Amino acid sequence: MRGAESRLILLLTTVNVTCLAVAYASPQPAVTALASAPLVLYLPGATLLVGIDPHGHVVDGLERVFWSGAASIAVAISGGFVLNVVGGLTRLHWLVLLGLVTAAACVLGWLRVLLPGSRRDGQPPATIVGTPAPAQPLGPTPRSPSRSLALLVGATLVLVGSLTLSYVSNAAATREHFVQFWLLPNPPTAGAYAAHAQLGILNSEGRTEVFEVVLLSEARLSVSHWRVVLANGRTWTYGFSRKPLEPLTATLSLAARPSDVLRTVTLAVPQT
């Protein structure tokens, strides 16, 4: 029966390549949708079942069709969440993902079919001449319920993993990312006449950042410089003395790109 199984793998490979080519090259949305439907609803699951169970030992008949569709939808959902995380929800990235899944499953199916001793249930094993073949059980061999249970558990894990990935990716996508930078008089009510001032950074970029802070005093013609390593959600402050009515300018940039100024703040003096 290896010939029939090989022809099935060849057929799935041909249909997969054809659908990928049409979906990628067609400028018509309707044609693209028709070519993409098998890639989403059937081909990935069918090729996965061929790769895992090429001889139909575990599932066969209508049950195999059902699991092919279910596995295909699971692959599409999981792949969509992965592509969303890496920022690749485009037609090309979808086709590459589905094409790689089906191609890898077909290769696995070929290898399993060609393995020595691989055959369908019910095919008599090779016997040595003169040695009686072992008696075959009458009627179909009942399937082990543990196999169906394993498939159900696998489908449940895929669903739970997809929902978890969806929650994590959605939380990451909707989280605000920003950096707050300030230069304030101390006390604030003193304004430009304050004898002290404070520099501060609040990092809400979602990751640890290294900042470059430069403070310029035009009156003193001096420049102060700090390199600040700040974890997400943490705040850095620096208090210093100043002369009343002394204008100050502070800039903030990333250490990796010091010439790209993120923020500029000024402690100005009243106009006279």
150-164 pLDDT, tens digit each: 666 766 666 666 566
Asked if pLDDT for residue 121 goes beyond 50, the answer is: no
More confident residue, 225 or 77: 225
Looking at residue 35, its pLDDT comes to: 84
Looking at residue 1, its pLDDT comes to: 47
Instruction: Give the separation between CA 236 and CA 152, rounded to whole angstroms.
Output: 52
Sequence-distant (6+) residues with CB within 8 A of 135 are none
Query: Which pTM was predicted?
Result: 0.42
Distance of CA 187 to the CA centre of its chain: 48
Q: Which domains does the chain have, with CATH numbers?
A: 2-120+154-174 (no CATH), 178-267 (2.60.40.10)
Tokens of 67: 């699991």
22-73 pLDDT, tens digit each: 888 888 888 888 888 888 888 888 888 877 777 677 767 777 788 888 888 8
Angle at 50 between CA 49 and CA 54, to 5 degrees: 115
Instruction: Give the separation between CA 49 and CA 56, rounded to whole angstroms.
Output: 9
Sequence-distant (6+) residues with CB within 8 A of 180 are 200, 201, 202, 204
Asked if pLDDT for residue 235 goes beyond 50, the answer is: yes
Asked if pLDDT for residue 125 goes beyond 90, the answer is: no
Looking at residue 139, its pLDDT comes to: 47
Looking at residue 173, its pLDDT comes to: 57
Rg (CA), the chain: 33
The arithmetic mean of pLDDT across residues 77-106, rounded, is 79
Looking at residue 198, its pLDDT comes to: 93
The arithmetic mean of pLDDT across residues 173-188, rounded, is 82
Tokens of 241: 């003395």
Looking at residue 5, its pLDDT comes to: 72
Looking at residue 39, its pLDDT comes to: 81
- Average pLDDT along the chain: 77
How many CA atoms, within 13 angstroms, populate the side-chain half-sphere of residue 149? 4
Looking at residue 4, its pLDDT comes to: 73
